[in-house]
Structure 1
Amino acid sequence: MQYRHLGRSGLSVSRLCLGTMNWGWKNEEEDAHIIMDIAHENGLNFFDTADVYYWDENRGKSEEIIGRWFAKGNGRRERTVLATKLYASMNDWPNNERLSALHIRRALDASLKRLQTDYIDLYQFHHVDRVTPWEEIWQAIDVAIRQGKILYVGSSNFAGWNIATAQATAKEAGLTGLVSEQSFYNLITRRLELEVLPSARYHGLGVLPWSPLQGGLLGGVLAQDHAGTRRLEGRAAEALAKHRPQIELYEAFAKEIGIEPATLALAWLLHQPDVTAPIIGPRTVDQLRSALQVLDVRLDPAILARLDEIFPGHKPAPEDYAW
């Protein structure tokens, strides 16, 4: 396994992050426990979840499954860099959403209970709060850090200026501030290159891309369709129709260079200097083992250039749209 410091922090995390949104939804608990054990066996130490996973009446279930896995002992908690998130409402009562000091306190304690641990390694804001002032947010976080309940703080789905504002306010309070940003980033969706990546780089944040395969579009979807192993419907079918010409070129190129499409998409992310760890969401052990193979893939400049031709990216703002 390869490791990298998370942003400017001293925290070492694996180059792949195990996403657990599927726990209890697409993965039964026993299977989830097996996948987490195999992740550890392969040196993958970075796990990501959220209090709201997996949504609706099952909110909190992902954390509970991880908590029961930790309870098995044998160093499972100690070997894990645990990341979770808060923001979304956990019930219909007031003060149970966003980033108020009250909700941060309640959400953190509830996550700790579900996860059966006494601290969170990386506590992430799942979305920017446009109502609560940053002074209040950082004051609540400072209390939690002093209590030993969290070690590091990250953001998710922030704009570049949100990161800048958060960091400026944290600095005024004498706090470390954010060390990571978790965002939607892959070969197809490259908007982050405009302002989020430059902001993260300037402020010392590691970037954790979610949906690295664009909901499966970069995972060999056309080949799977031809083989009859996957049928897309609804939004997935609409997304494929929108990007089909690019996907056809992409899958043909992957075949030409002898790399599986999913592996190629993950490898491209690992070659981006601002990316710390893409978040993978394997539903099976085989999918996990397949994803781990990406760590041995090296893409030369010609391959990277061809991928940029198929999926054009962005220059940093304002050069992307101005002289």
Structure 2
Amino acid sequence: MKYRQLGRSALKVSELCLGTMNFGPRTSEQDSFAILNAALDAGINFVDTADQYGGQLGVGTTESLLGRWLAEDRSRRDRIVLATKAYEPMSDDINDRGLSARHIQKACDASLQRLGVDHIDLYQMHHIDRSAPVEEIWQAMDTLIAQGKITYVGSSNFPGWAIARTNEKAIARHRLGLVSEQSLYNLIERRAELEVIPACRAYGVGVITWSPLAGGLLAGPPEGGGRRRSESALQSAAALAPQLARFSELCERLGEPPGAVALAWLLRQPGVTATIIGPASLTQLTSVLHVPEVCLDEETVAAIEEIFPGCGPAPEAYAW
């Protein structure tokens, strides 16, 4: 496994970040534990979750599952960089959501209890809350840092302007500010290159990519059931069929599965610290563990980007 600094912080995280959204609602606890153990053994030290994860089993389910895994062997806690998120509704209570100082403090305490830990390494805002003043957010985050409950602060699904504003407010408070932004980014969805990634690079914010395989579209032909057999997924695959076929042919010449090439391409992009993998099975995990070692030369990258061209830089992409 290879490691990179998380943004401008000195913290080192694995290039592959283990996403846990499937744990509980889609993957059994026993199988989730097996994936976690295998990831740890392979050198993955970055584990990402969120307080809302749990699907039909209810919010908080995935954090509670992770808490039971950590409780099995207390040494595991010191071996991982633990990241979670807050913002999404946790109940019908009108204040049990968003980024008010009250909810941030309450959500953090609840996550700590479910996870069974005394601190969270990376506490992320799951989405922008346009009703919450940045000063209020930083007041809450500063309190949590002072209390030793969190160490670093990150954002997720923030636009470029919000990343800039949030960090400028932190600079004015003489604080470190955001160290990471978790963003939708893959070969098919490249709009993050317009504003988000440039803002992150300007402020030393590490980009953590989610949905790196575009919901499985970049993983090759679907096998069995699941989300990749849903009507919307099949419609997307049909619309992109010519590009996906060319990409599969290129990957076949490289001797690598499409999913591995798509992940390796992301890890070559400026500003990207890590990419989230969200395996639902041990087989899916082991199939991508070699990705940090996959080397794409310039000719291959050019061929990939001819198939999946990006938007280009802003504002040139949409203005003269």
TM-score scaled by length of structure 1:
0.96
- Shift in alpha-carbon separation, 1:57–1:74, aligned structure 2, 3 A: closer
Whether contact under 8 Å (2:46, 2:82) holds in the other structure is yes
Deviations 1:83-128 (A, max 9, x none): 0000011000121010001000110000000000010000000000
Paired letter, 1:319: E
Of the structure 1 ranges 50-59 and 162-171, higher mean CA displacement relative to structure 2 is found in: 50-59
Name the aligned partner's letter for residue 81 of structure 2. Answer: V
Are 1:129 and 2:126 counterparts?
no
Q: In structure 1, what is the equivalent of residue 66 of structure 2?
A: 66
CA distance in 1 between counterparts of 2:192 and 2:313 reads 9
Could you tell me which residue of structure 1 aligns to residue 310 of structure 2? 313
Amino acid at match of 2:140: A
Bigger shift: residues 138-147 or 247-256: 247-256
1:88 matched to which residue of 2? 88
Mapped partners of 1:302, 1:194: distance in 2:
24
- In structure 2, the partner of 1:255 is 252
CA shift for structure 1 position 257:
2.0
Q: Who is 1:147 aligned against?
A: 147
1:1-40 matches, cutoff 5 A:
1-40=1-40
Q: Deviations over 1:279-322 (max 9, x none)?
A: 00111112111111112110000000001100001222112223
Q: Which residue of 1 aligns with 2:264?
A: 267
Shift in Å at residue 242 of structure 1?
1.9
Distance 2:272 2:129 in 1: 24
Question: 1:56 offset after TM fit, Å?
Answer: 5.4
Root mean square deviation, CA, Å: 1.3
Measured in 2, the distance between the counterparts of 1:82 and 1:246 equals 37
Amino acid paired to 1:321: Y
Give the paired residue count.
319
Extract unaligned runs of 5+ from structure 1: none
Q: After TM superposition, give the deviation of residue 30 of structure 1 in Å.
A: 1.0
Q: Does 1:116 align with 2:113?
A: no
For the residues of structure 1 that align with 2:229 and 2:250, how far apart are their CA atoms? 22
Structure-2 separation of matches of 1:216 and 1:122 = 27
Q: Do 2:25 and 2:55's aligned partners in 1 also have CA atoms closer than 8 Å?
A: no
Distance 1:118 1:257 in 2: 46
The aligned counterpart of 2:188 is 188
| CA contact 2:25–2:56 (8 Å) conserved in 1 | no
- Runs of 4+ aligned structure 1 residues displaced above 4 Å come to 228-231
- Residue 66 of structure 1 deviates from its aligned partner by 0.4
